[in-house]
Amino acid sequence: MARARVLNTTDADYLARVATDPNALLRMCVVDNPHAPLPVVLQLAGDSDADVRAYVARQRLTETHQAPLRLIETLAADDDPRIRLALARYFYTPRHVLMRLAADDDVEVRHTVANRRNVPDEVVAVLCEDRDRHVRGAARYTARQRARNPRDRRHRSGAHPQAANRE
């Protein structure tokens, strides 16, 4: 019953209160509510429970949902590699965050960035020199594919509309 109320309410104050509830499942329901205000979602992106933070990443970083830049940057600073991996897969991750992820400690995060179709050329160049041979190989493959089709620049921007003035 409580979960249904959280999912269906438009009351921002109620959602803010539930975002501090000890029950992680209720906090995750706040993430699913389309009326959850950005400050509440940002609060949950910094939740003490890594599963809640990962849920924010999974639910808010989708191909049909362009996440706010503040949320992307909050998630990029997370200690949990699952969250950074979600960003590495997210189509709208901006160039400056992809560059940060290209230097990530987690090899799976770097490998995922190297395999992106819309990874910017300068990020590919960094990853071509990566310390891991699989990451280097993926980045070099991406570079070779681009060399074969130099006119196809549709997916190389790593652009996020709100990031234009930060790059």
Question: Whole-model pTM above 0.85?
Answer: no
85-167 carries CATH number 1.25.10 = yes
Mean pLDDT of 75-91: 94
Q: Is the pLDDT of residue 102 over 90?
A: yes
Q: Could you report the per-residue pLDDT of 121-157, keeping only the tens digit for each? A: 999 999 999 999 999 999 999 999 888 876 655 545 5
* Domain parsing of the chain, residue ranges: 1-60, 85-167
The DSSP-derived string for 4-41 is: HHHHH---HHHHHHHTT-S-HHHHHHHHH-TT--HHHH
Q: Yes or no: say if 31 and 51 are a contact pair by the CB < 8 Å rule.
A: no
The whole-number pLDDT of residue 167 equals: 46
